[in-house]
A and B are shown apart, each in its own frame.
Chain A
Amino acid sequence: MSALSQTTEVVDPVPGADAPHLPGQPDLVQLLTPEGERVEHPEYSLDVTDDELRSLYRDLALVRRWDVEATALQRQGELGIWASLLGQEAAQVGAGRALAADDMAFPTYREHGVAWTRGVDPLHVISLFRGVDQGGWDPVATKFNLYTVVIGAQTLHATGYAMGLQRDGAESATLAFLGDGATSQGEVNEAMIWAATFSAPVVFFCQNNQYAISVPIERQSRVPLFRRAAGFGFPGVRVDGNDVLAVLAVTRAALAAARDGQGPTFIEAFTYRMGAHTTSDDPTRYRLASELEEWKLRDPIARLKAYLSRSGIADADFFTSVDAEGDQLAVRIRQGTLEMPDPAGTEIFDHVYAEQTPELARQREEFVAYHASFEGAES
């Protein structure tokens, strides 16, 4: 035996690390089974009215309809790119509906479902992917920050904003969205250290959709993501991300704790991206069709529909009316996209600074004069 093996006790640092990424284990909070059966959880109960349940279904269905339409628009060349949320509707709607009016959400770039719950016009999200602007909604009025594309950067913004809430004595919290890949980023780890150290009222909501573009979660983490929170000194919870009721319950509880001065929580919403990372990649290159088929059985919308039907909370007329509303939304999105005016060229100069610099003012004048020089010329 070597000296090393004589003196070193090898301990499995992570019990259960061999199979860390499988759903259906006791750690997974679930209130609605994939078959659409309502179950109870000892720590997370949910008090929702039938109206609220129908409203959640409507959210899920309309957000999916929006997503399908946007994907089609991209395929027809009307959008430069689209980041589909297909499969993640419950995680996003559940988290979004858990927010109070004064809470602030910090999305990545796929949180269309959260945007929906904040009242952001879908066309204001579409305009970003069409290349008209960097996001047309007002982040101050909607309490939904602009999308952040650099992975994980927004978790620090959410933490800083939460520190501001804390200083102001506001009884509000922030909800920071991130993906499984983002947990590998240094800045995300810094955000969690900060949040813990200052007991900031921030909830980290990680949608573990199993892939960072093409790279599976096994390449990001040896441990289930929710367990990482313990190392930072705050609770970590794994919730079935395809169960809108469980996500709503868990996120509500975490936000309430944050507002109550109990500091951060890390939520891992265990879910699956049914489509590509964006319309630019081809998921058949990096994952098996059987995996997709397996996840289709856990579809977040089908399971709520099954529950609502079976329990008599919603009837066929209700589902028909939601479908009709979805068709109207799709028409509005399509027409709105096609009619969206291109921005004026001078806009690129207009908001670089709060106080314009002389150099940029000069470049703007030069730009205007240059373009004016073509006026009246043959096209």
Chain B
Amino acid sequence: MSTETLTIGKALNLGLRRAMEDDAKVVLMGEDIGKLGGVFRITDGLQKDFGDARVVDTPLAEAGILGTAVGLAMRGYRPVCEIQFDGFVFPAYNQIVTQVAKIHARSKGRLPMPIVIRIPFGGGIGAVEHHSESPEAYFAHTAGLKVVAVSTPSDAYWGIQQAITHPDPIVFLEPKRRYWEKGEVDTDATPDPLFASRVLRGGDDVTVLAYGPMVKTALQAAEAAAEEGRSLEVVDLRTLSPLDLEPVYASVRRTGRCVVVHEAPTTLGLGAEIAARVTETCFHSLEAPVLRVGGYDTPYPPSKLEEEYLPDLDRVLDAVDRSLGF
């Protein structure tokens, strides 16, 4: 067993490196990912070691990154596209939704699209507009795409490798404000499946679901609740499309209560889908309606207000109180 303590950012870097070593067809493409190593340094040192044909500094055009990735995938390559910030994915949205997502079906499986779209997502870093968004619902709503969100260094290290070897296109969401969070990574382990949620903390009173940057917040809330004698079960969804809700159903059948937490605007966010499914499936076990804690239905605010916008520990605990109050 080889265990290292790594940040999420470094774990991604090592995961990318290992994927590139394992398969010469893996090609990284994005803006500033070469000499600079990416604005978050996730690709640091990779161009130096693998060359500029495998770590491609692209022209500044997101649709171009994704559109050429389609052609490369048709030629047997496995492109890993870095979108610099979440808000910049929209120029590429057409290629992702009308092309990347549909070509496998359109071609009756003759043209696989093993493309990974890495997006640093979510707020909390004090950035200017378009640098702090949560676009996951757009992609999860699109048939043909799969969407995952990592929250720990271990998942980051393994998840990026699993995403790259997976045959379908994957939107790979990286919680940018957690890039510097540290954790243990066993680089020899057998990783959990990519498309599986995971109970991170057991509890009996309320099931709390979160993914990406909100996982840490949910765990902090559970810690705080425990001091008041309340036992929260925290589930890291990990996979947003397909959703893996069987462990959630099992949990809710025990606790009778469910709170979904995410940063994205609440209306028509993933929480809405999860609430509907949990209600359909666990109706007779529920003691309270499934509650959502999300961003407001506003554009992401100026950074001086983002702490107001983002769900925090107190808003999660407030929802837990409301759930228990039914």
Contact = CB atoms under 8 A, between A and B. Distances in A.
Interface of A: 133-135, 138-140, 145-146, 148, 150, 153, 155-165, 167-168, 174, 186-187, 190-191, 193-194, 197, 350-355, 357-360
B107 A165 contact: no
Given A153-B95, A164-B74, A190 B61 contact: yes
Nearest to A140: B110
Given A350-B108, A353-B167, 16 more contacts: A140-B110, A150-B99, A153-B94, A156-B66, A156-B95, A160-B74, A160-B75, A161-B72, A164-B71, A164-B72, A164-B74, A186-B91, A187-B95, A190-B63, A351-B104, A357-B195
A174 B68 CA distance: 13
Contact of A193 (B59, B70, B99, B166): B59
Contacts of B144: 352-353
B32 to A, nearest CB: 15
Contacts of A193: 59, 61, 64
B243 interface: yes
Interface in B89-144: 91, 94-95, 98-99, 103-112, 114, 143-144
Given A159-B67, A167-B53, A358-B242, A351 B76 contact: no
B71 A355 contact: no
A24 B53 CA distance: 44
User: Dominant SS at the A interface?
Assistant: helix
B103 to A, nearest CB: 8
Contacts, number: 133
A138 B74 CA distance: 13
Interface string B137-160: 000000110100000000000000
A355 B168 contact: yes
Nearest to B277: A359
A174 B67 CA distance: 15
B72 A191 contact: no
Most chain A beta carbons < 10 A, residue from B59, B71, B105, B107: B71
Interface string B35-78: 00000000000000000010000110101101111111111110
Contacts of A140: 110-111
9 contacts: A139-B110, A146-B111, A164-B75, A164-B76, A167-B75, A167-B77, A191-B68, A353-B144, A354-B109
B109 A351 contact: yes
A190 B67 contact: yes
A193 B105 CA distance: 29
B74 A146 contact: no
B167 A159 contact: no
B110 A357 contact: no
B167 A187 contact: no
A156 B71 contact: yes
A221 B59 CA distance: 24
Interface residues of B, number: 45
B74 A157 contact: yes
Given A187-B64, A352-B143, A354-B167, A139 B111 contact: yes
B107 A146 contact: yes
B166 A163 contact: no
Contact of A355 (B75, B76, B166): B166
Contacts of A359: 242-243
A160 B73 CA distance: 8
A140 B146 CA distance: 24
Nearest to B69: A160
A140 to B, nearest CB: 6
Contacts of A190: 59, 61, 63-64, 67
* Top-9 shortest CB links A-B: A160-B71, A156-B67, A164-B75, A160-B68, A161-B71, A354-B167, A190-B64, A357-B242, A134-B106
Nearest to A187: B63
A354 B109 CA distance: 7
A352 B112 CA distance: 10
A83 to B, nearest CB: 17
A163 B59 contact: no
A159 B106 contact: no
Contacts of B95: 153, 156, 187
Nearest to B79: A160
A160 B166 CA distance: 20
Most chain A beta carbons < 10 A, residue from B64, B68, B98, B111: B68
Contacts of B77: 164, 167
A167 to B, nearest CB: 7
B324 to A, nearest CB: 31
A364 to B, nearest CB: 13
A148 B67 CA distance: 12
B105 A156 contact: no
B69 to A, nearest CB: 6
A28 to B, nearest CB: 31
B94 to A, nearest CB: 7
Nearest to B66: A156
Given A351-B104, A352-B144, A156 B68 contact: yes
B98 A157 contact: no
